[in-house]
Amino acid sequence: MKIALVYDRINKFGGAERLLLSLHKLYPDAPVYTLVHNPKTSAWAKDLKIIPTFLNKIPFLRTHHEWLSPLAPLAFETLDFSSYDIIISLTSSDAKAVITKPNQLHICYCLTPTRYFWSGSTEYSQDTKLKILPDFLKKYFKSVDLSISERPDEYISISKEVQDRVNKYYKRMSSVVYPPIEDKFYTKQPVPLENRQFYLIAGRLIPYKRVDLAISVFNKLNLPLIIIGKGSEGLRLKRMAGKNIKFLGLVDDKKLIECYRHAKALIFPADEDFGLVPVEAQASGTPVIAFNGGGAKETVIHRKTGLLFDEQTEFFMMSSVKEFEKIKIDPKDCIANARKFNQAKFSLDFSSEIDRLWVKYRRR
């Protein structure tokens, strides 16, 4: 089977990019087609064979992809996949728009249905760029997304949460294959709990991550909190934060792992699609205090590897943090739970699912 990978854009680094690298490990000969590629901000992709769309010829667009939404489906449609048997689109937006022939199998490995149209529409409605967009255009682009969602022959979802969304919004059935974390996050000797002094947040600083909620809570509790990451909310969040809260910006994986291992707990207030960060924290022997929604329901075991709070409010999060201060969670239980999401299991599960779908397709 000749396989090609398609990804929305290669100009940043986060959980989705880690998943793309996992797919590259599984299919090292597969090229990666994408909307735009900015080598300056994506050194992690240096070993990939990257084929961008025509829009990449304009350097400005490589770092301002948010303005490309109206053109993105059209750009993906211009890519030529005629020499491949299977096309795997890893996407949370437009990569699923690629056009394939009847003798080709297009499988969408869905990160989530386009968030700003569907599950995250409320949060993203406050975004400046979406505010200036007329309602009739919003409805049009939403209808386009619905239309291109019909192009993949099959869907695989990254979690049961996303599986439900794919069914609800796109009316498509899908199987589930959980993303993996890298082996380097697993620790054999967790740091003793008594040697941990701070709480931790790691991830992009954007609205739906609800870092603002955590800051409000920790301002009132006056407990030490370290925040790793950057994003559109960064400046506002720094203005909110008290002296007990420290921002580290972007850090390399060595520093990230060090922070994971020395944190009392990871704070995870987002309603996330899956969430690699809580799994990475647990692999480091660190419990998680998370919103009881989205992927966290599938990766955190309440009162064994962390605590889950039922509403994204100060009261519920604060109650969980106060409860956590009174209980002890065994780091070894956290590590054991994270083992369910290792690279070897992912490689076996994902390749088996691709093989199953290929056999199913050939029997039609």
Q: What is the pTM of this model?
A: 0.89
pLDDT band at 174 (very low <50, low <70, confident <90, very high): very high
- For the cut 80, the answer to whether the pLDDT of residue 130 exceeds it is no
d(CA 324, CA 326): 5
The residue-averaged pLDDT of 176-188 equals: 96
Which pLDDT score is estimated for 127?
59
What's at 259, amino acid-wise?
A: C
For residues 349 and 335, state if they share a domain. no
Give 1 or 186, the one with higher predicted confidence.
Answer: 186
Six-digit token string for 138: 């919003």
d(CA 285, CA 265): 9
With beta carbons less than 8 A apart as the criterion, state whether 227 and 201 touch. Answer: yes
For residues 41 and 87, state if they share a domain. yes
Six-digit token string for 222: 């006056």
Q: Please report, for the domain that includes residue 287, its CATH number.
A: 3.40.50.2000
Which pLDDT score is estimated for 168?
95
For residues 37 and 113, state if they share a domain. yes
Which pLDDT score is estimated for 142?
84
For residues 163 and 225, state if they share a domain. no
Six-digit token string for 188: 């054999």
pLDDT band at 128 (very low <50, low <70, confident <90, very high): low
For residues 187 and 85, state if they share a domain. no
Six-digit token string for 25: 């490990």
For residue 202, the cross-strand partners are 228
Of all residues in the chain, the percent with pLDDT exceeding 90 is 82
Antiparallel, parallel or unpaired: β 198-202 and 225-228 = parallel
Q: SS3 sequence, the chain?
A: CCEEEEECCECCCCHHHHHHHHHHHHCCCCCEEECCECHHHCHHHCCCCEEECHHHHCHHHHCCHHHHCCCHHHHHHCCCCCCCCEEEEEECCCHHHCCCCCCCEEEEEECCCCCCCCCCHHHHCCCHHHHCCCHHHHHHHHHHHHHHCCCCCEEEECCHHHHHHHHHHHCCCCEECCCCECHHHCCCCCCCHHHCCEEEEECCCCHHHCHHHHHHHHHHHCCCEEEECCCCCHHHHHHHCCCCEEEEECCCHHHHHHHHHHEEEEEECCCCCCCHHHHHHHHCCCCEEEECCCCHHHHCCECCCEEEECCCCHHHHHHHHHHHCCCCCCHHHHHHHHHHHEHHHHHHHHHHHHHHHHHHHHCC
d(CA 306, CA 282): 9
Which pLDDT score is estimated for 61?
82
The residue-averaged pLDDT of 225-242 equals: 95
For residues 167 and 199, state if they share a domain. no
For residue 249, the cross-strand partners are 228
Query: Number of folded domains in the chain?
Result: 2
For residues 53 and 157, state if they share a domain. yes
For residues 46 and 133, state if they share a domain. yes
d(CA 158, CA 112): 8
For residue 343, the cross-strand partners are none
- Mean pLDDT (the chain) is 93
For residues 317 and 261, state if they share a domain. yes
The residue-averaged pLDDT of 332-358 equals: 97
For residues 60 and 153, state if they share a domain. yes
Instruction: Compute the chain's Rg from CA coordinates.
Output: 21
d(CA 74, CA 96): 11
pLDDT band at 132 (very low <50, low <70, confident <90, very high): low
Q: Which domain does 121 fall in, by range?
A: 3-180+343-362
For residues 23 and 47, state if they share a domain. yes
For residues 347 and 336, state if they share a domain. no
> What is the per-residue pLDDT across 234-284, written as a single tens digit (0 to 9) for each?
999 999 999 999 999 999 999 999 999 999 999 999 999 999 999 999 999
